[in-house]
Amino acid sequence: MNVSTILIILLIGAFATYFSGDKLASKVALLFSLAALGCSIVLLNNFSAGENISVINSWITQPKISFALNADGLGLAMVLLTAALTPIIIFSSFGNEYKNAKGFYALILFMAFAMTGTFLAADGLLYYIFWELALIPIYFIALIWGNGDAEERRKAVVKFFIYTLAGSLFMLTAFIYLYQKAGSFLIEDLYKVELSACEQFWIFLAFFLAYAIKIPIIPFHTWQANVYQKAPTVGTMLLSGIMLKMGLYSVIRWQLPLAPIAAKEYMYIFIGLGIAGVIYGSIVALRQKDLKKLLAYSSLAHVGLIAAGCYTLTLDGLRGAVLQMIAHGFVVVGLFFAAEVIYRRFETREIGEMGGIRTQSPKFTSMFLILVLASVALPSTFNFVGEFTVLYSLSQINIWFAILGGTTIILGAYYMLRMFQHVMLGETNSKTFADVSLNEGISFAVIIAVLLFFGFYPKPITDLITPSLETILQVINKN
């Protein structure tokens, strides 16, 4: 078995879901997503046993393009994140009804297929194809099944699509330039290209524009909050839990090794942009009255810190960034799902219209509190491991970076706990808040179990990703 198997499962699953009809679509999609998860676990076991599960085949001769999928520890970690969150996201949607459900769930699987391909691609053009394919399903998911006024939703989604597509075109231009130097799009050949400092600056900048929009890093974040708010919760989970990780992963896999001189020269600028996102996202989150928007800006703050860790060019920084990517994926999906559970009962996302949930649903209150504490990086949660490692790496570069980056913990604790008080405590809302259903409870339980388990024992993930990150750093430090 090789890594193409998981792509085949997801692609077949997308078509099977669509042709299964609206009544069976959700169950078929869940079945194929679980099959993909099972496949990813088997591939991990094979990889750990020393088996070569990568794929490289000639695809197009002129220009020279290969169907190359590289399965190292870093790529497998991101594939496992995608494979684990996809069934959770699908299962969490069972409490909602969707028109044209077959199309909705088929798009979710197709998006998982494209994102998985992005994490595995070892050919520049193949990577670009998967990168762009992931944009198509989320565009339709947000446009057709989104929330609020149709015209406002259309404007938000079109802005997101144009921003992302425009940034990607700069990346494509960079790949074409590199191909002319290397004669191949294979990542190992692109790594060997010798570029001047000026050339590296432009290559670095072209990739940065694509990734800064996708992550997003300020000032390229203006699309995020509106799209997160207007998209259905499933779409928001896909965007925040997995899709933004494509940009962060790509910084490590593509941008830094291809332009190491530029990465070292402009390190302080890009670390500064990441930390600015931490502070900006936290301050704006303090002012939000809409629960989804508050979580969106909270996510902006957290990914700013992850981006800063990536640009430290240290093993601790890269390792902490990857750990935090995975932890953030689970906690943000859990928080947005909690917001959806509240919306199902109260039919509002306005924080001021909530309250008194604790007295009606102690189980939900307890699970929501754990997610909030994980979000603010309480020790013993997975987020603490990643944030502490990133902050430690920032202190190695400049202690002020660590101090300013640490504001994400202080400000995050303030706005998240204040939000918890308004939503869960206080006066009881006039509407009844039914306790969590079995489906909802299982979704929360799985997410919380992951956050607590790896909070106490992150070694399996650390051991998986460290060799790949060391290899990437060797490429960076050759220049």
| Sign of the torsion angle spanned by Cα atoms 337, 363, 408, 384 | negative
pLDDT at 120: 96
Contact 433/345 with Cβ under 8 angstroms?
Answer: yes
Closest Cα partner for 214 from 247, 238, 168, 237? 247
- Scanning 4-134, the segments in alpha helix (DSSP H) are 4-19, 25-48, 73-92, 101-120, 124-133
- Please give the backbone phi and psi of residue 220, each rounded to the nearest 5 degrees, phi first: -100, 25
Contact 286/411 with Cβ under 8 angstroms?
Answer: yes
pLDDT at 429: 63
Spatial distance between the Cα atoms of 475 and 252, rounded to a whole number of angstroms: 11
pLDDT digits (tens, 9 = 90+) for 175-217: 999 999 998 999 999 999 999 999 999 999 999 999 999 998 8
- Residue 218 Cα to chain centre, angstroms: 17
- Please give the backbone phi and psi of residue 236, each rounded to the nearest 5 degrees, phi first: -65, -40
Spatial distance between the Cα atoms of 166 and 149, rounded to a whole number of angstroms: 26
Q: Label residue 78 by pLDDT band (50, 70, 90).
A: very high
Spatial distance between the Cα atoms of 314 and 208, rounded to a whole number of angstroms: 19
Spatial distance between the Cα atoms of 450 and 460, rounded to a whole number of angstroms: 12
Query: By three-state DSSP, how is residue 434 classified?
Result: coil
Q: Count CB atoms within 10 A of the CB of residue 59.
A: 14
As a residue count, the chain comes to 479
Which are the contacts of 335, defined by CB distance < 8 A and separation ≥ 6? Answer: 295, 298, 371, 372, 375
H or E stretch at 321: helix 315-346
pLDDT at 430: 62
pLDDT digits (tens, 9 = 90+) for 145-157: 988 778 888 888 9
Which are the contacts of 394, defined by CB distance < 8 A and separation ≥ 6? Answer: 271, 275, 308, 309, 312, 317, 401, 402, 405
Question: What mean pLDDT, rounded, does the chain reach?
Answer: 92
- Residue 422 Cα to chain centre, angstroms: 28
Is residue 222 pLDDT above 90, yes or no?
Answer: no
pLDDT digits (tens, 9 = 90+) for 399-431: 999 998 887 788 888 999 999 998 888 776 667
Contact 288/298 with Cβ under 8 angstroms?
Answer: no
- Please give the backbone phi and psi of residue 122, each rounded to the nearest 5 degrees, phi first: -120, 15
pLDDT at 121: 96
Spatial distance between the Cα atoms of 294 and 216, rounded to a whole number of angstroms: 16
- Scanning 266-290, the segments in alpha helix (DSSP H) are 267-286
pLDDT at 455: 95
